């Protein structure tokens, strides 16, 4: 998911890929026809949480037991160093056959020819399980270079007792509040010593651009092969509403502006904030850290013209240099069948891309701990223009993040924000 996700900072240190002996970059180094003994594949995984890590290793062991002719070696990677590790291994011809990463990051490797086109290697059944908008996040120049399998949606975590005390009803899993309703309810939940909401905006750009899709805000527009940043009414809608909550209605805490999602938890558990708009994965911290007797609930994504949000799924790709692409794709099909995908999502507190996997996940969990909301949110996740824009990382770091931070700190106007975003686009887009 998004690399700013705070939980990844706690990931274990990478285990160096050394001592692989005769195993070359992709399998055993020979063609399928010339191979004697089982086909050997390497799977570079970024799983790090205890339950997710165990699920990954269990699935590899199960595959190996059932497929003696195709053996998969599990190789541990690390989110904090994976980009450089992959770049080095691709350039050196020593990449694993199967690579775990995320949609927003594989485009670079796809365009350099390091990842195989899976469009003819993936079954129609798996293709049909995942929405086209999610497949679009891994499609570059007409080639599908990853299978998307885990998603991260933006939901709202709320203090149930504070909602009840204010007479605010919890919406059903498939019927989230509109932005107007969310803002009105945040106002109802605001009183001396208590804010209706806390927007953790230490890293605001991805959050704003994700939610901008609620109002069809694109930010990045491409005409005639040229991409530029535009900031119109649709793009201004989300930042303006958040700004209004902080400074006009005063229903959102200004102190949360410099916080990450994790930073807001003490105030949330202490009753200082009634609602936390944030990642669906924040539910894990609720389960693990909430005080005894604390009642929390997961509210569905907020709706504007729609509930659409940007999807940046975790992915599985096959190296172009792999001598065993067909077998690697077979392993991916197994690894991501509905039952397995549901188990992987549960271990990471994320949302599976597959429709059947979502159904199995709700059955597995009984929909408790917000899993019903999480599963339902998958339908609203799709590709966003910024994800396909060359130069976006630089624009985000140099221009968008500083400008949004200034705007949310009430140091510049909304129009000035728009100007800075547009001007920054002119500097970096190509």
pLDDT digits (tens, 9 = 90+) for 335-348: 999 999 999 999 99
Mean pLDDT of 264-276: 97
Instruction: Give pLDDT, residue 31.
Output: 42
d(CA 288, CA 349): 12
Same domain, 145 and 163: no
**14 has a pLDDT exceeding 70:** no
Same domain, 194 and 239: yes
**225 has a pLDDT exceeding 90:** no
Q: Is 184 exposed, middle or buried (0-12, 13-18, 19+ CB in 10 A)?
A: middle
Host domain of residue 250: 154-309+393-428
User: What number of helices (H) and strands (E) belong to the chain?
Assistant: 18, 16
Same domain, 335 and 289: no
17 falls within a domain: no
Same domain, 238 and 364: no
Give how many domains the chain has, as a whole number.
Answer: 2
Q: What is the pTM of this model?
A: 0.84
Confidence of residue 371 (pLDDT cuts 50, 70, 90): very high
Confidence of residue 430 (pLDDT cuts 50, 70, 90): low
Which residues neighbour 172 within 8 Å (Cβ) at sequence distance 6 or greater?
A: 300
What digits encode the pLDDT tens for the residues 379-404? Answer: 899 999 988 887 888 999 999 999 99
Which residues neighbour 125 within 8 Å (Cβ) at sequence distance 6 or greater?
A: none
Average pLDDT score over the chain: 90
d(CA 250, CA 245): 5
How many CB atoms are located within 10 Å of the residue 99 CB?
30
Same domain, 404 and 417: yes
Mean pLDDT of 168-193: 96
Same domain, 424 and 401: yes
What CATH number is associated with residue 211? 3.40.190.10
What percent of the chain lies above the pLDDT cut of 90?
Answer: 82
**297 has a pLDDT exceeding 50:** yes
């Amino acid at each position: 998911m998004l690399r700013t996700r705070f939980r990844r900072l706690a990931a274990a240190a990478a285990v160096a890929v050394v001592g692989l002996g005769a195993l070359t970059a992709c399998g055993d180094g020979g063609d399928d026809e010339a191979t004697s003994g089982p086909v050997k594949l390497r799977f570079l995984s970024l799983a790090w949480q205890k339950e997710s890590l165990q699920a990954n290793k269990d699935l590899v062991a199960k595959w190996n037991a059932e497929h003696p002719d195709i053996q998969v070696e599990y190789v541990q990677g690390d989110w904090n160093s994976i980009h450089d590790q992959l770049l080095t291994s691709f350039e050196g011809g020593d990449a694993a056959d199967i690579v775990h990463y995320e949609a927003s990051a594989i485009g670079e490797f796809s365009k350099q020819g390091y990842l195989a086109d899976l469009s003819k290697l993936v079954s129609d059944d798996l293709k049909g399980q995942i929405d086209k908008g999610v497949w679009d996040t891994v499609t570059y120049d007409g080639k599908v270079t990853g299978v998307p399998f885990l998603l991260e949606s933006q939901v709202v975590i709320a203090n149930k007792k504070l909602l009840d005390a204010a007479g605010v009803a919890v919406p059903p899993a498939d019927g989230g509040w509109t932005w107007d309703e969310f803002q009105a309810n945040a106002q109802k939940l605001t009183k001396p010593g208590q804010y209706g909401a806390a927007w953790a905006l230490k890293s605001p750009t991805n959050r704003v651009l994700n939610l901008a899709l609620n109002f069809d805000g694109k930010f990045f527009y491409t005409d005639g092969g040229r991409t530029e940043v535009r900031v119109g009414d649709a793009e201004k809608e989300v930042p303006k509403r958040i700004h209004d909550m902080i400074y006009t209605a005063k229903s959102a805490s200004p102190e949360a502006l410099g916080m990450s999602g994790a930073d807001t938890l003490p105030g949330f558990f202490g009753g200082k904030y009634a609602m936390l708009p944030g990642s669906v994965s924040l539910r894990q911290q609720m389960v693990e850290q909430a005080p005894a007797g604390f009642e929390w609930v997961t509210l569905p994504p907020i709706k504007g013209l729609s509930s659409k949000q940007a999807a940046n799924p975790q992915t599985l790709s096959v190296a172009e240099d792999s001598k065993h692409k067909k077998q690697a794709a077979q392993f991916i099909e197994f690894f991501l069948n509905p039952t397995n995908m549901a188990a992987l999502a549960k271990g990471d507190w994320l949302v599976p891309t597959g429709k059947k996997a979502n159904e199995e996940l709700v059955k597995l969990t009984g929909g408790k701990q917000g899993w019903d909301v999480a599963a339902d949110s998958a339908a609203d996740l799709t590709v966003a223009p910024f994800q396909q824009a060359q130069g976006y990382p630089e624009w985000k770091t140099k221009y968008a993040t500083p400008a949004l931070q200034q705007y949310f700190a009430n140091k510049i106007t909304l129009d000035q924000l728009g100007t800075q975003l547009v001007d920054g686009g002119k500097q970096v887009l190509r």
